[in-house]
Amino acid sequence: MDSRPHVLSLIPLPAMTREALAQRYQLHLAARGLSDPVDALVPLDRIVAVVTNGTTGLSAEWIQQMPALRVVSAFGVGYENVDVPAAHARGVIVTNAPGTNDETVADHALGFMLALSRGYAVLTHAVRNGQWDSARAAQPTLCGATVGIIGMGRIGQGIARRCAAFGMRVLYNTRTSRSDLPYAHESDLLKMAEQCDYLVAACPGGAATRHIINAEVLRALGSQGFVVNVARGSVVHTADLVHALQADVIAGAGLDVFEGEPTIPDALKAMDNVLLTPHMAGRSPAAHRAQTDVLLASFADALQGRRPAMVIAA
């Protein structure tokens, strides 16, 4: 009889993570989250640990259906849809893995900026279709441009360092300024957008940041400005963004996250000044190894009565 503890994953996991968990635990996969057809296949009364992320989360209702649950771990940084107060009320530890994929996300954001400014996607299509001469118009460069970063946590700082290395002026928008950083703070998002060539979202999701990039902010960014979102889909008002792109209110967008993902508006798919990636900015082999290490340590500590390193406060 297999006496190993039961672990449930509510998200797709890298092969290395699945294998590592399966070696230590009885692993149950519900990679699209919990739903009625899946519930019968998962021994909810025996689950001691859950793997999730900020998008999928774990509700109070499901926490109550897992009487043996002791730890919930977000595979990455975000945990906005995990009901942390409900977990703590049950004595369940909630952890995440900050710092494990910051550099990967920052690379992705800068890649969006380069590809949008230099027109890589459009130019590749043009060259493939024999439009060599007509595609050689001058394209903007990052050097000398201004970037405004919403959020200045680990990822925001990584983006800022990269932008500064490219000779960009760096602004950032947070509730309070950081005296330890060499970048210009702007508490008013509209005022920052007015100064930007690139507006990059690198902030947490949740109610406080829902739709903060909206029609008014996009108008302030202007017709030469680009939006990049490597934060959460909820940060951008999708309908406002679509309208701004269709009406040439802004120049383009690079989006890794979407409201209602994986469903994406057809209008965004049809625009050649929009780059789309499938919520994978934080995915790299190095990031997956680091996230797996933190996840395994969190589970081992919590299930053996120790306090994990990355506990989320109530």
Strand bridging mode 146-150 / 198-201: parallel
State which amino acid sits at residue 173: N
Q: What is the pLDDT of residue 2?
A: 83
Q: What is the pLDDT of residue 38?
A: 53
Catalytic residue among 88, 90, 118, 279: 279
- Mark whether 211 is an active-site residue: no
- Mark whether 125 is an active-site residue: no
- Give 68-126 pLDDT, tens digit per residue: 999 999 998 889 999 999 999 999 999 999 999 999 999 999 999 999 999 999 999 99
Q: How far apart are CA 14 and CA 20, in angstroms?
A: 10
CA angle 247, 212, 273 (to 5 degrees): 35
Rounded CA Rg of the chain: 21
Domains and CATH numbers, the chain: 6-100+285-303 (3.40.50.720), 102-276 (3.40.50.720)
For the sheet with 93-95, list strands across it.
Answer: 26-29, 6-9, 47-52, 71-74, 93-95
Q: What is the pLDDT of residue 254?
A: 98
State both tokens at 129.
Answer: 């279709």
| pLDDT under 50: residue ranges of the chain | 36-37
- Mark whether 279 is an active-site residue: yes
Hunting for tokens 């993570």 — which residue is that? 17
Catalytic residue among 211, 261, 283, 289: 261
Residue 97, number of CB atoms within 10 A of its CB: 24
Catalytic residue among 232, 237, 259, 288: 232
